[in-house]
Each structure stands twice: as C-alpha cells, then as structure tokens.
Amino acid sequence: MYGYMGKILRIDLSNGKITEEFPDENTLKMYLGGSGLATKYLFDEVKKGIDPLGPENKLIFMTGPLTGTTSPSTGRYSVVAKSPLTGIWGQANSAGFWGRDFKRSGFDGVIFENISPKPVYLVTDEGKAELRDAKHLWGKNTSETTRLIKEDLGKKFNISCIGIAGENQVKYAAVMNDCDEPNYGRAAGRCGMGAVMGSKNLKAIASRGTIKIEVANPEQYREEAKQRYEWVNQSLLKMTIEVYGTAAVVDITNNLGGFPTKNWQTGVFKGADKINGTTINETILVERKPCFACPIACGRICEVKEGPYKSKGEGPEYESLGALGSMCEVDNLEAITLAHFLCNEYGLDTISTGNTIGFAMECYDKGILTKEDTSGLELNWGNADLIIDLVHKIGKREGIGNMLAEGTKRMAEKLGKNSIKFAMQVKGLELPAYDSRAAKITGLAFATANRGGDHITAYIEGPAFLAMPFLIVDEADIGDPLQEIPETTKVVKEFEDAFGIFDAIGGCKFMGMVLTGEDWASLISKLMGYEFTVKDFRKTGERIYNLARIFNIREGITRADDTLPARLLEEPMPEGPAEGHVVNLDPLLDAYYEYRGWDKNGKPTPEKLKELGLDWVINQI
Ligand code: SF4
C-alpha cells in the first residue's frame, strides 16, 4: 500500500519483546491510519472496564498515510489509549516534525503493551527499533530529556517524550515533541496520554530516518500538493493566523461575549487587550514558527526579556491565554507566557491545567477549599504568581497540586457541595476557551465530542465564533449563533466526520478552512493509488467517529453524559452580547442523533452500523 511504511511495531514492555506487523488492505481502506487505525486497534484490544493506568491499557502512536509527504501541513501523529482523565476513548494529536521523523525511520506506528519493570525509551532508526534504559532520564523535564537523548544518540534524532507530569501520572499530562530548546515543544495535549506513557515507565521515543515514503503517482501528487500549498500560502488564513497566531481569536470571542472568564462566570474579560495577538506582537514575539510542510506558521517563539517572568520559549496559544489567563482572571501576559512554557516543560495540557486552577480559585472563593487544604496558599483571582506556583505544584503533585492533578471532575466529586455545577468539563475533559452561551451550537459539539469537552473534534467555532469559511463541507451555515437551531446540528455531524479524516491521514485541521473535501480526496487518491472519492472521505470519517462512539458506549456512556456543565445550561450569561443566554441542549441533541442515525439514547442503530461496515460491533453494545 502506497503512503505507508508497511510496518507497525508492537512492543511488550513487560519483557522488551519487539515484533512487527501490518494490517490488511481492507482495514487500511476502512480506517486509513492515524487515530482512525489506532481506534480500530484500541477497540479490538482493550477490554471494557480496564484501568487506564494499568497494564491492560494500550498506548498507540500512529502516523497517517500523508504524514511526512509534500501535502501542506502533514507532519501530524496521533496518540490513542483509554484516557485516565475521562475513562473513555482518549486521543491526542500533535504536529511539529517528530511525526515525519518517526515515519521516515521506517514505521507507521507503535503499539505499547503492559508495563516496563524499569524506565525505558524507544529508539527507531532507519528501519530498526530497540528499547534503551531511561534511568538517567527519569525525573527530567521535556527539554532536558530531549537534550540528553540527543547527547546519547546524535543531533539528527527527534524526540517525543513526557516530562515530570507524565511520570507523576497527572491525569492530564501531555506527550510533547520537538522540545529542542528549554520551554519549546508541540503537545499531544489532551486526555492524559502522557500519564498513560508514564504509567508504562516509557519516557520517550527517539526517531531518525531517511526512508522514502512510496507514492503511487509521484509526479501528479507532487504537482497537486505544490498547488494546494500555494493556495494555502495565499489564503486569508495565512494572513491572519501567521501574523497574529491563534491569539488573534482573543478579541473575536471576547467581543462576542464568549471568552470564558473567572471560571466561566462571565464571557467578557476586561483585560483581553493586554493578552491579545496585537499585544503579543508588540511586546514578546520573537519569531513565527511553522510545523513540517506548513505555509502558515501559527507557532510563536516569545521572550520575556527581564523581570520575574524572564523566559523564552514556544507559545502561548489562544487556548493557553484563555485557560491560564482569563479563566483565572489573570491579565499579566508575561506571567501567562511563563506558565505556558512551564506546561511545555512538565508536559501538561494547558487547557486542563488552567481550567483546574480556575475551578480551584472559585472553590476557594466560595469556601469549599480553605487555607487548610492549600497549606496556607490563598487562591485569589488574578494572582499571576499563583498560576506559576500551581503549575509547578501540579507537575510535581506537590501539596494542593496533588488534588489539582486529578482534574476538575474528580476534584468536584471529592469536594462535593455542588461544586460539580461549576466544574467546567464534559465527560471529565476540561472545556476549551469558547463559552457556548455566546454560540449555542458549540455546546452541542462539546457535549457530543467523543473525547469529552473538546473544540477540535467538530471545530464548529470556525463558523460559530470566527466567521471563517470551512470549505471541507458543502454547507457550514449555522444561522444566528445565539439561537438553538436544530437543523444546523447537521453541520456538527459533517464537521466531526470530515475533521476525523485529518487525524487519520496526518493533516492539520486548519487546512479545512482553505482546502475542500475534493482537494483532500484527490491528494489521497494520488498518494495511495486507488480512487478515494469525496463520498469515501465523508463515509470513512463517519465510520471512525461511530467506532469511537461505540468504544465509549461499551464503557457505559449514554445520552446523560452528552451534556454540559450546569453553569452553561442554567446560569444566564451576566453581561455582554450574550447577556441572559443559557444553552438549551435537548432539541439540538435530538436533531443531532437523528442526523447521525442514532437512537434517542445516542446509540448508533444496527442499520447505521451496517451501512458503515461496522456490523461486527453490533453485539458488543
Ligand atoms: S497551521 Fe499551525 S499547527 Fe497547523 S501545521 Fe501549520 S504551524 Fe502547525
């Protein structure tokens, strides 16, 4: 099969045994690769009810067929496992360059099984794979781990690894890659994949390779990829996101009254102009940084030149500005930037980290957490130094950080006193920085996303908040964002299916704003050597989406879990353009289930499963 290296590693960490395998052609056509193929492995091999941090969980790294090729922004890889944060299907995805280097080292993916008796790291190098002792790396953060491995193996190796947070099994620890300088790195951030890696005593994967990725129609593929690259290079997306980074979104969401502030008590942040893209450009931006084969360069290298927050590193992104900034009522850009850099170092998901700190601040404000719980720390709103202190404590599981390391849902369950009503999570995953009271359809997307409260499963914030054209579906009109319009739920379904393909092929979802489903179907056809139509593009995405849903249903997920925090359903927005609004979810959910071909309880019908070629799962739910 073209586009693949033809080898997936299977590593039994309990005894160090390494084998190679590869799926049959039909499986590849059904699930493509990346998180699609990894989800198939997870579904087949991980039994219902197992402990995500125990030996029975599998940790799967998977590239896609387009990863490392010349199509625009195709450096991505996925990490899939049962999530320790949510207890359901877990997936995280990252760009940078490691995905390319791992694939060119001769492998499409790797499945880790069981637990190593001692810390190890995997080396993949020009078609060979071996486990090495990682004792000297244990206790080191991401950039130090990267530096030490490069010292051992040479500068040409690229590293994906965990920091101290992953070792400590912080429930939302990230897997980081490309941490070549202190504070640098790209994150496979969500769902605690770094904690699963830590639970397996696996510190890193170091990869180097020059093995060619075979393409079915090389000339046509190169030509088409080059043309699409140029289209992206001349797009509106590039003009905005390259210039201001994802921080461009701060002003947009804030002006619409949907920038979550003070643990989502309001959607209007008075300090937005101190942390927005313009301020970053004028104060701390050093350079813009692209991922592999990307014309956009949305990454930022920033530097705080002096003072208590003096530091240089990669970030901050929009989500970090929301989570570590407005959600905690912090408007000190330099402090937020340092907190983000520290998350890169410890290997922490900034979205869950910031949300959890904001939740703790509200608990403290309401007397649910006291100075006795915090060892004397005052968790006051807007305290910039506190954010930094708490990131350290979470990463080390030190003091109150040990409780925060469990995430908002577990904290609320422990603290009680109705705190679950303002724990801003869905299915245990902390929400991104878009308040659904200001754009109702996003509430449906957060409620139904397979990995929990997530914004890039459907990416519906594009049309709902940003008015960005998303070209990968024919119709992306969501009408008045402040109204619940059941017909528009079809857009959520279409987006979920289409964006699932990006995670399966190894592409960046930003490209969905510029290139169409036809563009991607054509590139896939030229690469893989068989006709892959737009219909296949949508159907494959729908199949993968439904399989992850079935995984979750097998774990006990029902309609009751497809919901939002009570704050969004019951507490009217107090001010701004969305003043007085809550989300009325039920009519949206009913319509969405119908478009999906699911029953009233959110379960795919046997007919739908048969249509998708998933009839083999019918008796498993
Ligand atoms: S758009 Fe941004 S995140 Fe996506 S590949 Fe390009 S630089 Fe990386």
206-239 pLDDT tens trace: 999 999 999 999 999 999 999 999 999 999 889 8
Is pLDDT at 469 greater than 80 in this prediction?
Answer: no
Please, are residues 113 and 58 in contact by the beta-carbon 8 Å criterion? yes
Please, are residues 160 and 146 in contact by the beta-carbon 8 Å criterion? no
Predicted pLDDT at 474 = 85
Same domain flag for 381 and 439: no
- Residue 311: name the closest of 323, 321, 301 by CA: 301
Q: Measure the CA–CA gap between 243 and 239, rounded to whole angstroms.
A: 6
CATH of the domain at 479: 1.10.599.10
CA of 147 to the centre of ligand 1 (A): 24
Q: Measure the CA–CA gap between 98 and 186, rounded to whole angstroms.
A: 9
Structure-token pair, residue 579: 């003043």
Same domain flag for 149 and 168: yes
At residue 347, the 3 state secondary structure works out as coil
How confident is the model over 255-295, as pLDDT tens digits?
999 999 999 999 999 999 999 999 999 999 999 999 999 99
Atom of ligand 1 nearest to the CA of 96: 8
- Asked if residue 536 belongs to a domain, the reply is yes
Same domain flag for 65 and 150: yes
Same domain flag for 27 and 140: yes
Which residue range(s) make up the domain with 303?
A: 245-426
- Asked if residue 231 belongs to a domain, the reply is no
- Asked if residue 220 belongs to a domain, the reply is no
User: φ, ψ for residue 262 (rounded to 5)?
Assistant: 55, 60
* pLDDT (average), residues 151-157: 96
CA of 297 to the centre of ligand 1 (A): 6
At residue 8, the 3 state secondary structure works out as strand
Please, are residues 557 and 412 in contact by the beta-carbon 8 Å criterion? no
The CA-CA-CA angle for residues 583, 354, 480, to 5°, reads 25
Atom of ligand 1 nearest to the CA of 290: 7
Predicted pLDDT at 470 = 82
- Asked if residue 383 belongs to a domain, the reply is yes
Q: How far is CA 617 from CA 26, 44, 273, 548, 612, in A?
A: 17, 10, 51, 11, 11
Same domain flag for 52 and 155: yes
At residue 94, the 3 state secondary structure works out as strand
- Asked if residue 80 belongs to a domain, the reply is yes
Q: Whose CA is nearest to atom 2 of ligand 1?
A: 298
Residue identified by tokens 């795919």 is 604
Is pLDDT at 508 greater than 80 in this prediction?
Answer: yes
- Asked if residue 1 belongs to a domain, the reply is no
Residue identified by tokens 């492995």 is 41
Give me the sign of the Cα torsion angle 300, 179, 452, 599: positive
Q: Whose CA is nearest to atom 8 of ligand 1?
A: 291
Same domain flag for 588 and 444: yes
CATH of the domain at 148: 3.60.9.10
Which of 426, 458, 478 is at the close of a domain?
Answer: 426
Is pLDDT at 397 greater than 80 in this prediction?
Answer: yes
Please, are residues 508 and 76 in contact by the beta-carbon 8 Å criterion? yes
Question: Ligand 1 test: best mutation among 243, 510, 511, 515, most atoms within 8 Å of CB?
Answer: 510
How confident is the model over 174-208, as pLDDT tens digits?
999 999 999 999 999 999 999 999 999 999 999 99
- Asked if residue 240 belongs to a domain, the reply is no
Same domain flag for 398 and 493: no
Predicted pLDDT at 1 = 87
Predicted pLDDT at 621 = 80
Query: What does the mean pLDDT of the chain come to?
Result: 97
CA of 292 to the centre of ligand 1 (A): 8
Residue 153: CB atoms within 10 A of its CB come to 17
Predicted pLDDT at 472 = 87
CA of 46 to the centre of ligand 1 (A): 32
Predicted pLDDT at 391 = 98
pLDDT band at 425 (very low <50, low <70, confident <90, very high): very high
At residue 424, the 3 state secondary structure works out as coil
CATH of the domain at 303: 1.10.569.10
Length of the chain, please? Answer: 621
* pLDDT (average), residues 94-99: 98
Please, are residues 449 and 457 in contact by the beta-carbon 8 Å criterion? yes
Which of 208, 234, 261 is at the close of a domain?
Answer: 208
Same domain flag for 249 and 171: no
Same domain flag for 523 and 446: yes
Predicted pLDDT at 379 = 98
Total domain count for the chain? 3
Same domain flag for 422 and 468: no
How confident is the model over 328-378, as pLDDT tens digits?
999 999 999 999 999 999 999 999 999 999 999 999 999 999 999 999 999
Same domain flag for 299 and 257: yes
Q: How far is CA 575 from CA 261, 267, 298, 362, in A?
A: 12, 8, 32, 19
Composition of the chain by helix, strand, coil, percent to 5: 45, 15, 40
pLDDT band at 619 (very low <50, low <70, confident <90, very high): confident
Q: Measure the CA–CA gap between 247 and 264, rounded to whole angstroms.
A: 19
Predicted pLDDT at 293 = 96
At residue 113, the 3 state secondary structure works out as strand
CA of 505 to the centre of ligand 1 (A): 15
Q: Measure the CA–CA gap between 611 and 317, rounded to whole angstroms.
A: 40
Atom of ligand 1 nearest to the CA of 289: 7
Is pLDDT at 424 greater than 90 in this prediction?
Answer: yes
Predicted pLDDT at 471 = 85
Same domain flag for 394 and 457: no
Which of 410, 426, 442 is at the close of a domain?
Answer: 426
Q: At what angle do helices 34-45 and 534-554 cross, to 10 degrees?
A: 30
- Asked if residue 228 belongs to a domain, the reply is no
At residue 395, the 3 state secondary structure works out as helix
* pLDDT (average), residues 521-548: 97
Quote the percentage of the chain above a pLDDT of 70. Answer: 100
**Ligand 1 site residues, Cβ closer than 6 angstroms:** 73, 95, 290-291, 294, 296-299, 508, 510
pLDDT band at 51 (very low <50, low <70, confident <90, very high): very high
Predicted pLDDT at 165 = 98
- Residue 71: name the closest of 500, 499, 507 by CA: 507
